[in-house]
Every structure is written in structure tokens, then in C-alpha cells.
A = this chain, B = another copy of it.
Amino acid sequence: MEFTAEQIAKLLQGKVEGDKNIVVNCFSKIEEGKSGSLSFLANPKYTNYIYETEASIVLVNNDFVGQKEITSTLIRVEDSYKAIAQLLEIYNSITEKPSGIEKNVFIHKKAKTGKNIYVGAFAYIGKDAQIGDNVQIYPGVYVGNGVKIGDNSVIYPGVKIYYNTIIGKDCTIHAGSVIGADGFGFAPNGNEAFVKIAQIGNVVIEDNVEIGALVTIDRATLGSTIIRKGVKLDNHNHIAHNVEIGQNTVIAAQSGIAGTAKIGENCMFGGQVGIGPHVKIANGTKMSAQSGIANNIKKEDSILMGAPAFDIRDYHRSYIHFKNLDKIVKRLDELERQLGKK
């Protein structure tokens, strides 16, 4: 698909500066801009690139003032970052979506499927599963018995969903994720070995949740592991049995949440964070990457770092001293010398 500067400006209610007939067919970053691509300048740190970029069109803010010659055609808009997000969204929505039922699928005769769905080859839909309207199930997905998937959700290749999992509307689950495997529950048998505790609960994922690739969300021992609406989970996250994650919480990659922990709403996790079992995290808590949290966080909107984690400013202050510990100990040695102890 190709668009002229004029067409794009109209779409964004912007103003063309330069060749209104110049044509683009893809997007680029301003520092990598090639002829035929559309780019944008939102972060002032990148301003220098606008004088060198080969992008045919650059979106800029209305108040942008160039300091040197610019060869690209400009489109001035109120907020160039929002404008590019808007364009990306449009581009995405007109991209070809897969549809229909491909050959070589397994759909149990007792499964119920909605209108206008896509089921890719080698996908498996078990007994009593319920698939909503407009759902996309990519190749190699496994949907266990009794699973429900809400309207418009997209399940990418190779996702495995165990029995009785419930997934809401407008959810996305990326490739290879595993939803509803057994929680990690074992009881000592008194003889140094362990006996498995049956895990007969399920996983409930509410609407508008996005789950990255290779994420695990374990089923509850009893009851449900619950992911509230609007939650975003990055790749390699691990959510253990009976965890609850509050709405609109965002968790970066490779973080893990142990069994029965309860995470508040609107929290933000950096990558590789670990939350201990039974821990409760207050709403709005922010955790720096690699934080470890073994006790409840009761104060809302705390910002934490370290393992065990505490206030991020205090952590940074302590860490500066940690880096200087050798000097600090030398000062202590000197004082002791002065006082005749060494």
C-alpha cells in the first residue's frame, strides 16, 4: 500500500511542508530512514537526525523549528508521537487477517465455535470448548476440554491452554505460552520424597489482557488463578497457582510471581522481578528490574528496588556506599589507629 503526503496529512489533520505528492509505503525510525518511508520526530534527543534522514516524509510537532536544511517532506501535527501511533494502528487494522478453518484441524464435535473465526492447521479444540466470534486460533494451538475464549481474542501459534481455562474478550496470547498447567504443589511424604497435591482449580483471564510469548500461568489448586482486565504480561513471565493480578498492572519480561501472591492494580514491574509466596502488593507499586519481594507491600504507589526490595532512593543511597565500602573501612582502620587500637 502506498500513500501520498497529502493523504496522510488529511488523515492526521496535519499540514504538509514540501512535496505533497511524495509517496511512502512503510515506516522507519528517523535514524534509519530510507527513501519511500515515513518517519517521525517526537523525542528532541533525535532532532539531529532530521537533517540527515533519507525518510521521504517526517511527522513533526507544530512547534518544531528546523536549524538547518531538511530534505524530507514534513507533516506538522499537534503531537507527532500520538500521530504515528494512530497511523500504526490504522496500518495494522488494514493488514490482511487470516480467516476460515484450514485443513488438518481437530475440532471436537462437542466444541462450540462462533462466527467468523480462524482456525489454523494442526490446531486442536477439545470437548465442550467454547470459541467466541472473530477469534483467531493460529496453527498448532491446543485448546483443552471446557476452555472458553471470548470474542475477538487472538491466540498465536503453539499456545497450550489446559482444560477449563476461561479467557475473556479482546485478549492476545503470543506464541508458545502455556495457560493452566498444574501449580507446583507437593507435600513431603515423611520419607524425604514428595507427593503431588492435585491441582483442580483453573485460570481466569479477564478482557483486554495481553500475554507475551512463552509465559506460564498455572491453574489454581482450588478456585482460580486470576488475571484482571487490562493486564499486560511480557515474555517469559511466570504466574504461579492461585495468584491474582489486579487490573491494568504491567509486568516486564522474565518476572516470576510465587503461589497465592496478590498483586494490586496499576502496578509496574521491571524485568526479572521475583515476588514470594503469599505476598500482597499494594496498588500502584513500582518495582525496579531484578527486585525481590518477600514481604507485603502495604503503602500504595511505593517505588522499590533491591533484594529484598526497599525504597528506591534509599537503595541507591546505600548502594553508593556499598561501592565505596573499601574506602569506608580504610577510614575506620585509620580512626582505630589514631585511638591506639592498631
Q: Residues of A at under 8 Å CB distance from B?
A: 27-29, 32, 39, 85, 88-89, 91-92, 102-104, 106, 120-122, 124, 138-140, 142, 144, 156-158, 160, 162, 172, 174-176, 178, 181-182, 184, 186-187, 192-198, 200-201, 208, 210, 212-214, 216, 218, 221-223, 230, 232, 234-236, 238, 240, 242, 247-248, 250, 252-254, 256, 258, 265-266, 271-272, 274, 276, 289-290, 292, 294, 307-308, 310, 314, 317-319, 321-326, 328-329, 331-332, 335-336, 338-339
Contacts and interface: CB of A to CB of B under 8 A. Distances in A.
B332 A322 contact: no
Contacts of A196: 210
B235 A254 contact: no
Contacts of A91: 198, 200
A81 to B, nearest CB: 8
Contact of A339 (B102, B210, B256, B335): B335
21 contacts: A27-B222, A88-B200, A88-B221, A89-B198, A91-B200, A121-B122, A122-B124, A124-B157, A176-B178, A178-B214, A184-B212, A184-B232, A184-B234, A192-B248, A194-B248, A212-B216, A216-B235, A290-B290, A290-B292, A321-B329, A331-B332
B326 A317 contact: yes
Query: Which one of A195, A253, A276, A336 has the highest number of Cβ atoms from chain B below 10 Å of its Cβ?
Result: A253
A294 B68 CA distance: 34
A142 B124 contact: no
Contacts of A210: 186, 196
Contacts of A308: 319
Per DSSP, chain A at the interface is loop
A114 to B, nearest CB: 22
A192 B231 CA distance: 11
A253 B256 contact: yes
Given A160-B176, A216-B212, A322 B323 contact: no
